Amino acid sequence: MRGRIGCSGHGMSTTKPKLRIVPLLNTADLSGGPISLSAGFSIRDVTGLLTPETFGVFKRTLSEKDLERLLAWDLSVVHEFRSDLVIGPEEVTSEYMMRFVIAALRWLQPTATTDTWFVQGFVSPKGPVKVQTFSAQAGAAITVPQFASRPQHIFLEDFETRCGLANPHAFGGVSVFLPEFERIVQDMTAGRDSYIPIVMATRLSEQAYLDFDPRLRLLKRVMALEALFSSDTTYGKKALVPRVPKFIGSSTPIYAGTNAPYTVATTIDDLLTLRNKFAHGDVVPAAFLATPADPSVASTNVKSYADILREASTTMVRACMLKILQDGLINIFSDKTKMEQMF
């Protein structure tokens, strides 16, 4: 493996060094050494770290194909932490942190990486990693303690897949978000909801990528925007139509780098109209279906203006979440009174 993962002792401590590893998908090769992201996270090549012996008694549960895929992991997100022999709070924290990290990677650059294809185990100076729990494929945890396991396949929108392979160095931008993620996860594991708008928006954004139904993907992304910009007194179109354009810029293009005419200002009202149709069990308005997508962005799955609106929801959620993180606005968006004072 390129870039040594430490396993130095901590005196008489009963804790052991552990790793949680998630392979990066549709990502280009890493030039140079590992990228340190802080808080124990890094992006590194784990080639050779996993061996058949890594999986111990669990090896017999693996098909030959599943084992081959696991052993082929190379560029990955790695979280190093310490814990004792059991699976406890440290593992819960690692799992939550990894979910936020993967979500942020996806906001920085489209990636089909999934946090539920993972290996977690002990680091040994004399041999391979010894697993406690892992998933043979996305969402298929072998051992029970991996909580909230869910089947997962990432459905990227067409304009996201056209971005090609992600540049791993661009993922380094997540490092500045990690202190905020640590603060949120500490709050969550303590049973508090101090940052619930951010948590809900993140979860809804990620859940949208799991759904094969394009209507539900749009619905969940608009719900993510509502978690950020709505309150008990101002919600729906009254909240999002003025607030989202003001926050990320009304002229922000839906398809950056193209000549497509769609912007946040020109799509937000129609996006909310379509959201309401889906939420109320209605169908896509005929006018949306009859209006073809601009040729510069049309594709097999983007044929009509309704498809444009689905992709617009992705652009808006990504732009909002990145601005909140990059501008240090988590506290403001976690307090509805402070959030509304911005507008």
Q: What would the pLDDT profile of 186-244 be if each residue is shown by its tens digit? A: 999 999 999 999 999 999 999 999 999 999 999 999 999 999 999 999 999 999 999 99
DSSP 58: G
The neighbour count for residue 213, using CB atoms within 10 Å, is 10
pLDDT in tens, 144-193: 333 344 445 789 999 999 888 999 999 999 999 999 999 999 999 999 99
**What is the per-residue pLDDT for 97?**
97
Residue 140 to residues 53, 128, 145, 147, 155, Cα–Cα distance (Å): 20, 22, 12, 11, 18
**What is the per-residue pLDDT for 131?**
82
**What is the per-residue pLDDT for 142?**
41
* Stretch (H or E) spanning 267: helix 264-279
In this prediction, what percent of the chain has a pLDDT beyond 90? 73
Unique residue bearing structure tokens 């594709």: 299
**What is the per-residue pLDDT for 141?**
44
Please, which pLDDT band fits residue 6 given cuts at 50, 70 and 90? low
Pairing, β 41-45 against β 119-122:
unpaired
Q: What are phi and psi of 134, to 5 degrees?
A: -160, 170
**What is the per-residue pLDDT for 150?**
41
The DSSP line for 175-195 is GGGHHHHHHHHHHHHTT--TT
